[in-house]
Amino acid sequence: MAHRLASWRGRGPLRPAELAEAAVLADVSVALIAIGWLLPITSIFIVAAAAPMAAIAARNRPRAVLAGAIAGTTVAMLIAGTGLASNVVGCAVIGTLLGVAWRRRWGPVRMMSVAVGVLWPPAALGAVLVLTLFSQLRSLALVQITNTWDGIKANLGSLGLSSLGRPVDPVVHWLVEHWAIGVPVALLVGIVASTIAGRILAWPPLARLERTRLAAPSTRDPVPGDTSTSAPGPVPVQLVGVGHTYPGMATPALRGVSLTVEPGQFVAVVGPNGSGKSTLARILGGRTPTSGAVHRPGATALGRPGGTALIFQRPESQVLGVRVRDDLVWGMARGPSVDVDVDALLARVGLTGFANRETSTLSGGELQRLAVASALARRPSLLISDESTAMVDAEGRQLLVDLLAALAAEEGLAVVHVTHRLEEAKRADRILFLERGELLATPPAPGPFPAPETQPARPPTPAAGQTIELSGVGHVYTVRSPWAHRALTDVDLTVGAGEAVMVVGHNGSGKSTLAWILAGLLIPSEGQAWLGGQPLDRRLGQVALSFQHARLQLLRSTVRGDVRAAGGVDAAAADSALELVGLDPRELGTRSVDQLSGGQQRRVAMAGMLARRPSVIILDEPFAGLDDGARRGLIAVLRRLRREVGLTIILVSHDTDGADQLVDRVVTLDHGRIVADGPVAQLAGRGSEGTP
């Protein structure tokens, strides 16, 4: 039983995982109750709504149930007022009882005794007191009871069971008339019935949750005694013959890697997509390898002060707070020893003045800088940066790489930076070259980034070309709120059929907002956006948008299955689309999308878009996370698509390397305004973000 009670003993504020689980499961309860309200014959859903609350109580501390109850009650109040909210409170109470009973393995007699002896008396006394003090509420409650019974009688009649309701009808009316007795009696019956039904409905899913938890593979540090209270000691860390193979994969992601990272070292890890860089970063951060050994003096202490901080490739997976200020200290214990100078830390990563901004209004690059600041707020001894500069403009990359170097040289942190950019790696004390999961002694010739080959293919019939026109377009996020943020102002833009245009600008300049408007997925606050003379938001499907993170668009388990689902086409058309983007369907068609490199995932996402035969494709930060070879291959594919298929291509990026081989025009955004629109020759002599 000790493992079941462990989470009850936790001290300190709720962890992010506890808050997230409580909020999500509470919303499930609200949804089930709402279904029961809307469809009376399915009122069993109201009883079932106690099961999610029971899961919160069984898996987390009591305060997590309270947090979930508050979140669910607030949502219910906003949706349908006090009636729905009171049901949520009731489900939270019953759910807590069920969760405690499951955790402590109570039998049905003990659980029922607690329900009747502990829950019912205060509930009955409180209900009578409230109804006595508030006459209008009493009248409403009694009418609701009468109407509910009338509805039950009607349902019984429709089932031919009217005889069952006749003897009960006078009893219900007597209890309503003598409500001071009737309400406690009704509560007693309700609590007993809900407890019995809740046990029947909640026990099976709780059992499945526990089996899943016990069967889950461990990703903890292999160091003995590395618990939540072990002393942090992530460095020096030594890897001896480390290998790692992911479940279901025949090829290892890492093979025989041996290295040591000392305090105060700045280590860069480079290599092509799929070489094992991210796997190495996660093992350094505490994941257990499938072979070899990892030695360190203490606990990995991931996320704890003095431990390990890991910055992921996708910043949106790390940003949890509503405001920047809140996110920076999310999940940290309070106290003088962990006080954070929010403004100074944000200034250090180039986010001066962002403390009160809503995180939903930040660009991808700004989110990445915030993730770096949040990692530094933990004052780690080991900082692992997995492509933390991929979404950042040239100025921001320089700032962050300078910061990483200073953290190692001046503050003694061990810093491991995974990157595709050799100019960043040259700042490091050591450069580790990975290829096919192996650590190379010297860089491979002619360079660590071989270019993938592309294959000619028969293109599908393209849609007729149409012109995109934006007139006076502006957009404000969370308009008419204290957190209103203007992303675009007075944008006039025309993109002709078959053109290839690049939109550039610093992080936060409005590029991604413009991309979503051009795709018809976001209606601008001001102005008009048209495709072929019709509003863009009514032409969904004619403009295809590739997200910054291609993996978010891959919704099926296999490559061919994802292209078929995305394009709504058969297997032959899906294979044709894969060939069009330079992928061999015979080799990759049945492969899991999680076994693909970043460049391959981006191409599969493009194949799914092209299978629908759009007239325009928009690629939002298509080069983020791609090595040099994958970048060249993608540019070659896009050139061929434009030449053979006649697509209009809009490239939204801060990274302009090689773009002059693809686009004709460059549109420059600055603070949400177009400040330049001219031929691609204007890129010459500019930074890689394409701005002066």
| 649, 501 contact by CB (below 8 A) | yes
Comparing C-alpha atoms, which of 381, 374, 213 is closest to residue 284? 381
Query: Which residues, in sequence order, are CB contacts of 456 under 8 Å at separation 6+?
Result: 640
d(CA 422, CA 181): 79
Any idea how long the chain is? 692
- Residue 262: which of 432, 376, 404, 408 has the closest Cα? 408
CB within 8 Å of 594: residues ≥ 6 apart? 246
Catalytic pick from 18, 366, 387, 469?
A: 387
- Catalytic residue check, 587: no
**Token representation of residue 191:** 């609590």
Distance CA 293, CA 258 (A): 9
DSSP 216-260: SPP-S-SSTT-STTSPB---SEEEEEEEE--TT-SS-SEEEEEEE
Pairing of strands 616-620, 648-652: parallel
The CA distance from 114 to 100, in Å, is 11
Q: CA-to-CA distance for 621 and 168, rounded, in angstroms?
A: 67
Which structure tokens are listed for 605? 């996402």
Strand partners, 243: 291
Are 406 and 429 within 8 A, CB to CB? no
Alpha helices in 60-119 (DSSP H): 62-80, 82-104, 108-114
Q: What angle do CA 525, 528, 532 make, to 5 degrees?
A: 140
Q: CA 68 to CA 469: how far, in whole Å?
A: 47
Which strands sit side by side in the sheet containing 526-531, from one edge to the other?
485-495, 468-477, 526-531, 534-535
Instruction: List phi, psi (to 5°) of 519.
Output: -85, -5
Say which amino acid occupies 676: A
The answer to whether the Cα torsion of 466, 472, 475, 480 is positive or negative is negative
What 84-88 contacts at long range (C-beta under 8 Å, 24+ apart), as own/partner pairs, is 84/30, 84/33, 84/34, 84/37, 87/33, 87/37, 87/46, 87/49, 88/26, 88/29, 88/30, 88/33, 88/49
DSSP letter for 61, please: -
DSSP 3-state assignment of 137? helix
Q: What is the DSSP string of 655-687?
A: --TTGGGT-SEEEEEETTEEEEEEEGGGGTTS-
564 burial class (0-12, 13-18, 19+ CB within 10 angstroms)?
buried
**Beta strands at 438-440 and 534-535: parallel, antiparallel or unpaired:** unpaired
Q: What is the DSSP letter of 441?
A: S
Q: Which helix (H) or strand (E) holds 179?
A: helix 179-215
Q: How many CA atoms lie within 13 A of 111 on its CB side?
A: 26
Angle, vertex CA 409, rays to CA 405 and CA 413, nearest 5: 85
Q: How far is the C-alpha of 146 from the C-alpha of 394, rounded, in Å? A: 69
Reading the block at residue 371, the tokens are: 């993730």
Ramachandran area for residue 533 (φ above 0: left; ψ -120 to 50: alpha; else beta): left
Residue carrying structure tokens 């660009």 = 363
- Rounded to whole angstroms, the Cα distance separating 669 from 375 reads 30
User: Which residues are catalytic, by number?
Assistant: 387
